[in-house]
Amino acid sequence: MIQLKNISKIYGKDGQQVKALDNANISIAKGEFVAIVGASGSGKSTMMNILGMLDRPTSGEYYLENKEISTLTDDELAKIRNKKIGFVFQKFHLLPKTTAIENVELPLIYSDRKDIRKLAVDALAKVGLSNRGKHRTNELSGGQQQRVAIARALVNEPEVILGDEPTGNLDSKSGLEVVGVFQELNRSGKTIILITHSGEVAEHANRIIRIHDGKITEDYKVEKPLDARTELAELKKAIN
Protein backbone atom coordinates (compact mmCIF):
# COMPACT_ATOMS: atom_id res chain seq x y z
CA MET A 1 0.00 0.00 0.00
CA ILE A 2 2.60 2.54 1.16
CA GLN A 3 6.32 2.18 0.61
CA LEU A 4 8.95 4.70 1.70
CA LYS A 5 12.43 4.03 0.30
CA ASN A 6 15.46 5.82 1.75
CA ILE A 7 13.43 8.89 2.64
CA SER A 8 15.43 11.83 3.98
CA LYS A 9 14.24 15.31 4.83
CA ILE A 10 16.75 18.04 5.46
CA TYR A 11 15.75 21.48 6.72
CA GLY A 12 17.80 24.66 6.67
CA LYS A 13 20.52 25.97 4.42
CA ASP A 14 24.12 24.81 4.02
CA GLY A 15 26.09 24.89 7.21
CA GLN A 16 23.11 24.73 9.55
CA GLN A 17 21.37 21.68 8.25
CA VAL A 18 18.97 19.64 10.31
CA LYS A 19 18.20 16.11 9.25
CA ALA A 20 14.59 15.60 10.30
CA LEU A 21 14.47 12.22 8.61
CA ASP A 22 17.48 10.10 7.81
CA ASN A 23 17.15 7.27 5.30
CA ALA A 24 13.84 6.01 6.59
CA ASN A 25 12.38 2.85 5.08
CA ILE A 26 8.81 1.89 5.86
CA SER A 27 6.42 -0.46 4.15
CA ILE A 28 2.79 -0.53 5.24
CA ALA A 29 0.34 -3.11 3.91
CA LYS A 30 -3.34 -2.59 3.33
CA GLY A 31 -5.42 -3.11 6.46
CA GLU A 32 -2.62 -2.54 8.96
CA PHE A 33 -2.94 -0.41 12.11
CA VAL A 34 0.46 1.21 12.60
CA ALA A 35 1.52 3.54 15.38
CA ILE A 36 4.51 5.76 14.72
CA VAL A 37 5.96 6.70 18.08
CA GLY A 38 8.57 9.25 18.99
CA ALA A 39 9.35 12.10 21.34
CA SER A 40 8.89 15.65 20.17
CA GLY A 41 11.70 16.61 17.80
CA SER A 42 12.22 12.98 16.81
CA GLY A 43 11.06 13.61 13.26
CA LYS A 44 7.64 12.05 13.63
CA SER A 45 5.81 15.24 12.55
CA THR A 46 7.98 15.37 9.44
CA MET A 47 7.12 11.71 8.87
CA MET A 48 3.46 12.55 9.21
CA ASN A 49 3.73 15.42 6.66
CA ILE A 50 5.56 13.21 4.18
CA LEU A 51 3.22 10.25 4.64
CA GLY A 52 0.29 12.66 4.21
CA MET A 53 1.86 14.16 1.06
CA LEU A 54 1.73 17.60 2.61
CA ASP A 55 5.51 17.82 2.22
CA ARG A 56 8.09 16.34 -0.15
CA PRO A 57 11.18 14.45 0.94
CA THR A 58 14.60 15.90 0.14
CA SER A 59 15.56 12.51 -1.25
CA GLY A 60 14.09 9.04 -1.49
CA GLU A 61 11.04 7.54 -3.09
CA TYR A 62 7.40 7.32 -1.99
CA TYR A 63 5.23 4.66 -3.58
CA LEU A 64 1.49 4.74 -3.01
CA GLU A 65 -0.15 1.62 -4.42
CA ASN A 66 3.09 1.05 -6.37
CA LYS A 67 2.98 4.51 -7.90
CA GLU A 68 5.86 6.93 -7.29
CA ILE A 69 4.27 10.15 -6.13
CA SER A 70 7.14 12.47 -5.14
CA THR A 71 7.39 13.70 -8.74
CA LEU A 72 3.74 14.80 -8.97
CA THR A 73 2.63 18.43 -8.95
CA ASP A 74 1.04 20.09 -5.91
CA ASP A 75 -2.40 19.95 -7.50
CA GLU A 76 -2.03 16.27 -8.38
CA LEU A 77 -0.99 15.56 -4.80
CA ALA A 78 -4.02 17.50 -3.57
CA LYS A 79 -6.29 15.22 -5.59
CA ILE A 80 -4.58 12.10 -4.23
CA ARG A 81 -4.89 13.39 -0.65
CA ASN A 82 -8.53 14.06 -1.30
CA LYS A 83 -9.21 10.53 -2.55
CA LYS A 84 -6.82 8.31 -0.63
CA ILE A 85 -6.04 9.90 2.73
CA GLY A 86 -8.22 10.99 5.61
CA PHE A 87 -6.53 13.36 8.08
CA VAL A 88 -7.23 13.62 11.79
CA PHE A 89 -5.27 16.41 13.53
CA GLN A 90 -4.36 17.03 17.14
CA LYS A 91 -6.08 20.44 17.11
CA PHE A 92 -9.11 19.04 15.22
CA HIS A 93 -8.92 21.88 12.64
CA LEU A 94 -12.64 22.24 12.25
CA LEU A 95 -14.03 25.41 10.66
CA PRO A 96 -15.29 27.69 13.44
CA LYS A 97 -18.95 28.71 13.73
CA THR A 98 -19.79 26.11 11.13
CA THR A 99 -22.05 23.11 11.67
CA ALA A 100 -20.69 19.59 12.13
CA ILE A 101 -22.29 18.38 8.92
CA GLU A 102 -20.77 21.23 6.89
CA ASN A 103 -17.34 20.38 8.28
CA VAL A 104 -17.76 16.76 7.31
CA GLU A 105 -18.75 17.81 3.78
CA LEU A 106 -15.52 19.76 3.27
CA PRO A 107 -13.42 17.07 1.49
CA LEU A 108 -16.37 16.21 -0.77
CA ILE A 109 -16.53 19.80 -2.03
CA TYR A 110 -13.16 19.20 -3.65
CA SER A 111 -14.08 15.78 -5.01
CA ASP A 112 -16.37 14.91 -7.88
CA ARG A 113 -18.80 13.07 -5.61
CA LYS A 114 -22.51 13.67 -5.87
CA ASP A 115 -25.06 13.57 -3.00
CA ILE A 116 -22.59 15.25 -0.68
CA ARG A 117 -25.10 15.75 2.11
CA LYS A 118 -26.08 12.08 2.28
CA LEU A 119 -22.45 10.91 2.43
CA ALA A 120 -21.75 13.41 5.23
CA VAL A 121 -24.78 12.22 7.21
CA ASP A 122 -23.62 8.59 6.86
CA ALA A 123 -20.09 9.48 8.00
CA LEU A 124 -21.40 11.29 11.09
CA ALA A 125 -23.52 8.21 11.89
CA LYS A 126 -20.40 6.04 11.75
CA VAL A 127 -18.80 8.05 14.57
CA GLY A 128 -22.05 8.07 16.58
CA LEU A 129 -22.92 11.76 16.10
CA SER A 130 -26.09 11.46 14.00
CA ASN A 131 -27.95 13.81 16.31
CA ARG A 132 -25.23 16.49 16.30
CA GLY A 133 -25.12 17.32 12.59
CA LYS A 134 -26.77 20.73 12.91
CA HIS A 135 -24.68 21.74 15.92
CA ARG A 136 -21.95 24.26 15.40
CA THR A 137 -18.51 22.90 16.18
CA ASN A 138 -17.96 25.28 19.09
CA GLU A 139 -21.05 23.81 20.79
CA LEU A 140 -19.47 20.34 20.90
CA SER A 141 -17.14 18.80 23.48
CA GLY A 142 -13.50 18.06 22.60
CA GLY A 143 -14.23 14.35 22.11
CA GLN A 144 -17.20 15.14 19.90
CA GLN A 145 -15.16 17.61 17.87
CA GLN A 146 -12.50 14.99 17.25
CA ARG A 147 -15.17 12.52 16.18
CA VAL A 148 -16.52 15.12 13.72
CA ALA A 149 -12.96 15.39 12.42
CA ILE A 150 -12.83 11.57 12.06
CA ALA A 151 -16.12 11.64 10.18
CA ARG A 152 -14.57 14.25 7.90
CA ALA A 153 -11.56 11.97 7.38
CA LEU A 154 -13.87 9.06 6.52
CA VAL A 155 -16.38 10.76 4.31
CA ASN A 156 -14.59 10.35 0.98
CA GLU A 157 -13.86 6.68 1.78
CA PRO A 158 -10.07 6.93 1.74
CA GLU A 159 -7.72 3.92 1.87
CA VAL A 160 -5.66 5.38 4.68
CA ILE A 161 -6.58 7.30 7.82
CA LEU A 162 -3.69 9.38 9.11
CA GLY A 163 -3.98 10.52 12.72
CA ASP A 164 -1.56 13.16 14.02
CA GLU A 165 -1.68 12.96 17.85
CA PRO A 166 -5.46 12.67 17.61
CA THR A 167 -5.79 12.11 21.37
CA GLY A 168 -3.31 14.83 22.36
CA ASN A 169 -5.95 17.40 23.23
CA LEU A 170 -8.44 15.03 24.85
CA ASP A 171 -9.05 13.69 28.34
CA SER A 172 -8.35 10.01 28.80
CA LYS A 173 -11.94 8.83 28.37
CA SER A 174 -12.52 10.86 25.17
CA GLY A 175 -9.09 9.74 24.00
CA LEU A 176 -10.05 6.10 24.50
CA GLU A 177 -13.28 6.67 22.61
CA VAL A 178 -11.37 8.13 19.68
CA VAL A 179 -8.86 5.27 19.71
CA GLY A 180 -11.85 2.93 19.80
CA VAL A 181 -13.21 4.53 16.65
CA PHE A 182 -9.85 3.99 14.95
CA GLN A 183 -9.79 0.33 15.98
CA GLU A 184 -13.28 -0.18 14.66
CA LEU A 185 -12.36 1.45 11.36
CA ASN A 186 -9.35 -0.84 11.15
CA ARG A 187 -11.54 -3.89 11.75
CA SER A 188 -13.72 -2.75 8.84
CA GLY A 189 -10.63 -2.83 6.60
CA LYS A 190 -9.15 0.69 6.70
CA THR A 191 -5.42 1.18 6.91
CA ILE A 192 -4.66 3.32 9.98
CA ILE A 193 -1.47 5.24 10.69
CA LEU A 194 -1.34 6.90 14.08
CA ILE A 195 1.42 9.34 14.96
CA THR A 196 1.78 9.66 18.72
CA HIS A 197 4.24 10.29 21.51
CA SER A 198 2.22 8.15 23.89
CA GLY A 199 3.34 4.55 24.28
CA GLU A 200 -0.02 3.69 25.79
CA VAL A 201 -1.99 4.90 22.77
CA ALA A 202 0.47 3.07 20.52
CA GLU A 203 -0.27 -0.22 22.31
CA HIS A 204 -3.69 -0.22 20.59
CA ALA A 205 -2.04 -0.67 17.19
CA ASN A 206 -0.99 -3.95 15.56
CA ARG A 207 2.46 -2.61 14.80
CA ILE A 208 4.71 0.03 16.32
CA ILE A 209 7.42 2.00 14.54
CA ARG A 210 9.73 4.05 16.74
CA ILE A 211 11.56 7.10 15.48
CA HIS A 212 14.52 8.73 17.18
CA ASP A 213 16.60 11.56 15.73
CA GLY A 214 15.09 11.05 12.31
CA LYS A 215 15.98 7.37 12.22
CA ILE A 216 13.73 4.36 12.59
CA THR A 217 14.99 2.56 15.65
CA GLU A 218 12.32 -0.09 16.10
CA ASP A 219 9.62 -1.68 13.96
CA TYR A 220 7.70 -4.58 15.50
CA LYS A 221 4.35 -6.30 15.64
CA VAL A 222 2.21 -5.94 18.80
CA GLU A 223 1.24 -9.42 19.93
CA LYS A 224 -1.80 -8.44 21.99
CA PRO A 225 -3.02 -4.95 21.20
CA LEU A 226 -5.12 -3.24 23.84
CA ASP A 227 -8.83 -3.07 23.06
CA ALA A 228 -10.34 0.36 23.65
CA ARG A 229 -13.86 -1.10 23.93
CA THR A 230 -13.02 -3.34 26.91
CA GLU A 231 -10.99 -0.55 28.51
CA LEU A 232 -13.98 1.79 28.24
CA ALA A 233 -16.29 -0.83 29.70
CA GLU A 234 -13.90 -1.30 32.64
CA LEU A 235 -13.66 2.45 33.10
CA LYS A 236 -17.45 2.64 33.31
CA LYS A 237 -17.55 -0.19 35.83
CA ALA A 238 -14.94 1.52 37.96
CA ILE A 239 -16.99 4.71 38.04
CA ASN A 240 -20.17 2.85 38.93
Partner 1 sequence: MNKIKIIESSFRILRRNKLNTFFMILGIVIGIAALSLTFSLGKSAEKQLTRKVKNLFNPNNILVTSGRVELESGRSSESSMTNLEIEDIEAIMNEVRGITMYDVIQATPERDVIFSNKNIPTAINGGMAEGEMVWRRSVISGEYFSKAEEKSSARVALIGTKIAKKLFEGSNPVGSQIRIGTVPFTVKGVLEERGIDPHGTDLDMNVIVPITTLMNRLMNVNYIAGAKFELEDASMTEEIAGKITSVLRERHSLNNNETNDFSIVTPVVVKEIIGKMNRVFTLFLPLISGIALLVGGVVIVVIMLMSVSRRVSEIGLRKALGARSQEIMFQFLIEAAVVSLFGGIIGLAIGLVGAGVFMSSMGLTFFIPWETILFGVLFPIIIGVLAGIIPARKAAKQDPIEALS
Please select the residue that binds partner 1; options are 52, 143, 166, 214, rule is CB under 8 A.
52
Binding mask 2-41 for partner 1 (x = CB under 8 A): ----------------------------------------
116: left (phi over 0), alpha (psi -120 to 50) or beta: alpha
Please give the residues from 148 up to 167 whose contact with partner 1 meets the rule CB under 8 A.
Answer: 152, 156
**Segment contacting partner 1 by CB under 8 A, of 15-23, 47-55, 184-192, 195-203:** 47-55
Assess 108 for contact with partner 1 (CB under 8 A). Answer: yes
Please select the residue that binds partner 1; options are 97, 131, 223, 239, rule is CB under 8 A.
97
Please select the residue that binds partner 1; options are 19, 79, 135, 215, rule is CB under 8 A.
79
Please select the residue that binds partner 1; options are 71, 74, 223, 237, rule is CB under 8 A.
74
For 6, half-sphere exposure in the C-beta direction (CA atoms, 13 angstrom radius) is 3
Q: Where are the alpha helices (H) located in the chain, listed in sequence order?
A: 44-51, 74-84, 100-109, 116-126, 142-154, 172-187, 199-202, 228-239
Task: Report how far residue 177's alpha carbon sits from residue 147's, in angstroms, rounded to the nearest whole number.
Answer: 9
**Minimum distance between the CB of residue 54 and partner 1, rounded to whole angstroms?**
5
Assess 75 for contact with partner 1 (CB under 8 A). Answer: yes
Distance from CA of residue 122 to its chain's centroid? Answer: 20
Assess 229 for contact with partner 1 (CB under 8 A). Answer: no
DSSP state, residue 94: P
SS3 231: helix
Task: Report how far residue 145's alpha carbon sits from residue 124's, in angstroms, rounded to the nearest whole number.
Answer: 11
Assess 118 for contact with partner 1 (CB under 8 A). Answer: no
Please select the residue that binds partner 1; options are 55, 122, 184, 219, rule is CB under 8 A.
55
Continuous segment of H or E residues that includes residue 161: strand 160-164
Task: Report how far residue 152's alpha carbon sits from residue 13's, in angstroms, rounded to the nearest whole number.
Answer: 37
Interacting residues toward partner 1 by CB under 8 A: 49, 52, 54-55, 74-75, 78-79, 81-83, 87, 89, 93, 95, 97-98, 102, 105-112, 116, 152, 156
